[in-house]
Chains A and B, each alone.
Chain A
Amino acid sequence: QQPVQSPQAVILREGEDAVINCSSSKALYSVHWYRQKHGEAPVFLMILLKGGEQKGHDKISASFNEKKQQSSLYLTASQLSYSGTYFCGTEAYSSASKIIFGSGTRLSIRP
């Protein structure tokens, strides 16, 4: 079952913050986050494996609440380069190896 991402789209001014959410109805082993620029392949950002785990990459960080089967991606002090579509991908305990992606969140950053 496809995870649900919200919001579907976000428009920010450079320097503003954003949060993208991902939730699943299945018990999750891991959550992946990817960014896709227009016309390009998705690029891996980070993977979260444990309940409550948080990770950071520059000014992009994420959390994973295993009990709630939810993950959030935090983008702080957004830069123009952060523009693109963000996808979460989930691996469930019941189906390891199989990654199901959400429908994506389109992030637009304006100067």
Chain B
Amino acid sequence: SQTIHQWPATLVQPVGSPLSLECTVEGTSNPNLYWYRQAAGRGLQLLFYSVGIGQISSEVPQNLSASRPQDRQFILSSKKLLLSDSGFYLCAWSEGDNQPQHFGDGTRLSIL
């Protein structure tokens, strides 16, 4: 069966520090991969999605970037965090277009 791992579960970072969140999927190949951010009490904002290695689509031009160094690995990065980057970051995967999305447990990021 397929599983998705996302870490860390919680993270507290100072303003201006770098960020790296990692997500890996097991039990499937060539999945679609997604990064979402959710502010407290709000909806899911699509940040990046990837349909294959080296293919990254950016939805929100901010100080965040994403990379897919391996088929089942998706990384969210930032060189310098802003206060506004706080939130609940969720990684998700699907088998392809018009397929269910399966979410990781998420990372709660607090910026001080």
Bound state CA distance, A99 and B46, in angstroms?
8
13 contacts between A and B (CB under 8 A): A29-B98, A32-B101, A42-B101, A47-B100, A49-B98, A87-B43, A89-B101, A91-B98, A97-B57, A98-B49, A98-B57, A99-B101, A100-B46
Q: Known: A101-B43, A103-B43. Is A30-B103 also a contact (CB below 8 A)? A: no
Cβ of B90 within 8 Å of any chain A Cβ, yes or no, is: yes
**Do A32 and B100 contact each other (CB < 8 Å), given the known contacts A41-B90, A41-B105, A42-B90?**
yes
One digit per residue, 1 when the CB lies within 8 angstroms of any chain B CB and 0 when it does not, for chain A 82-104 equals 00000101010000111111111
Closest to B50 in A: A97
Also in contact, A47 and B98, with CB within 8 A (given A41-B105, A42-B103, A97-B51):
yes
B interface size (C-beta, 8 A): 23
Q: Mark A56-92, 1 if CB is under 8 A from B, else 0.
A: 0000000000000000000000000000000101010
B83 within 8 A of A: no
Q: A41-B105, A97-B32, A103-B42 are in contact. List 13 more A-B contacts (CB 8 A).
A: A32-B100, A40-B106, A41-B104, A41-B106, A42-B90, A44-B101, A87-B43, A89-B44, A91-B97, A98-B46, A100-B46, A101-B46, A102-B43
Q: Is B5 in contact with chain A by the CB < 8 A criterion?
A: no
Which residues of B sit under 8 angstroms from A102, Cβ to Cβ?
43
Residues of A within 8 A of B2 (CB): none
A104 touches B49 (CB 8 A): no
Contacts of A49 in B (CB 8 A): 98
How many angstroms between the C-alpha atoms of A101 and B42 in the bound complex?
A: 11
Provide the residues of chain A in CB contact with B104, threshold 8 Å.
41
> What residues of chain B lie closer than 8 Å to A103, measured between beta carbons?
42-43
> Within B74-112, which residues are at the interface with A (CB < 8 Å)?
90, 96-106
CB pair B103 A96 closer than 8 Å: no
Q: Which 8 A-B pairs have the closest CB atoms?
A: A41-B103, A101-B44, A103-B43, A44-B100, A30-B98, A96-B97, A104-B43, A97-B97
